[in-house]
Amino acid sequence: MFLFSATAVEFFKDIFSVSDVPPRFAGAIIQHSTMTLHGDARKTVFLQKMEAGLFEVFEHQVICEALETEVLPTPLKPSLHLHISLDNNDVDAFVNGTDSVELRKEEVNLFYLEAINVAIIPQGKHCFFHTSFKNDTLFRLLKQPSFKRLFYDIKRKVLEAEKNKGGMINAPRQVMLDAYFMMLVQDIRHCRFNEAATVFYREKKCMLMLEHFIAQLLPQRNNKMELITHDVIVLDRVKEYIKWNIHRQLTLKYLCQRFSIGANFLAKGFHQLNSISVNHFIHLYRMESAAKMLVNQDMPLNSIALLTGYTSFKTLAIAFTNYFNCSPLLFRYTE
């Protein structure tokens, strides 16, 4: 029900060459994955694909024995790909074998991919994570009021990339991998719900990831705060307090009084550290907690509502349905 399990990731750390891979690694260790030995077997690719409603989720783990070698990432169908490099190395790539692109570590980029592409990877182990989706999914998102100013520019770039059979949509703008991106990646990797609920869950996380990516393309104000170690500790305490007290009616005013801090410091500092607003985080964590509690068949529905800050299951159900686009009862069912 999830991407590479903790056991599989731990196991993967001990693999340094093709000869270290057990013959039945794909079927026995990683759920829903395939293993591909390319050509002379000097590179091994573990590919996992997961359904996520409007999106598809892919993770590639690559072992390269040669000092430098080529891999040929070919999309299953022409589509947009939000690519996250979880690798420690920069990778030279060529979209459709012609347009040169440097995939830097800890970067997030949006591509339209159609034909065979080329990536030159150095020796070692590498990890690439990406989601794919149709143009219409992106265009609908761009019609939201907060993103509308980007609509025509991004649509033009997508259509141009389609004409060229591939291209990087956000060039020359670069988007860096931040704490919020990583939280969403981990949520996608480690969710443990029934099959139907998992699709809705992953779809929401992929949409949040795409929304966050588009938001980074908007003009950014350079108003970062100077945070000292003590500030970071206080803001981390606020975050932990929210996690353990979502049953309370949490507000910015309440949190400021609880921790004797200013509203401006809390709002700007929390967003700077976590790439997400305080109110957004509170709502996200309530929905996450509700989803996990719903799996427990012995927990009464009204208790779940009270424990996540709602007065009744009816009010929780409305918020949950608006968030995950499905009934909370879907998360209640077992396989």
CB–CB of 281/242 below 8 Å? yes
DSSP class of 314: H
If 0-12 CB within 10 Å is exposed, 13-18 middle and 19+ buried, where does residue 248 land?
middle
State the DSSP H helix or E strand holding residue 284, giving kind and residue range, or none if neither.
helix 278-294
Task: Please state which of the four CATH numbers 1.10.10.60, 1.10.645.10, 3.90.190.20, 1.10.760.10 is assigned to the domain occupying 227-331.
Answer: 1.10.10.60
Name 63's Cβ contacts closer than 8 Å, sequence gap at least 6: 15, 16, 17, 18, 21, 43, 44, 124, 125
CA distance 37 to 331: 38
245's tokens? 């007290």
Beta bridge partners of 93: 101, 119
276's tokens? 């997400």
- 6-187 and 227-331 share one fold: no
Name 97's Cβ contacts closer than 8 Å, sequence gap at least 6: 115, 116, 117, 118
CB–CB of 179/74 below 8 Å? no
Q: What CATH number was assigned to the domain covering residues 6-187?
A: 2.60.120.10
Q: Would you give per-residue pLDDT tens digits along the chain (335 residues)?
A: 334 444 444 445 554 444 444 443 333 334 444 455 544 556 667 677 888 999 999 887 777 777 776 666 667 788 999 998 877 777 777 787 677 777 777 889 999 988 777 777 777 777 788 899 999 999 999 999 999 999 999 999 999 999 988 889 998 888 999 999 999 998 998 888 998 999 999 999 999 999 999 999 998 777 788 889 999 999 999 999 999 999 999 999 999 999 999 999 999 999 999 999 999 999 999 999 999 999 999 999 999 999 999 999 999 999 999 999 999 999 998 76
Q: What is the pLDDT of residue 11?
A: 46
Q: What are phi and psi of 158, to 5 degrees?
A: -65, -45
**Omega cis (within 30) before 172:** yes
Q: Where are the domains of the chain?
A: 6-187, 227-331
**What radius of gyration do the chain's Cα atoms show?**
22
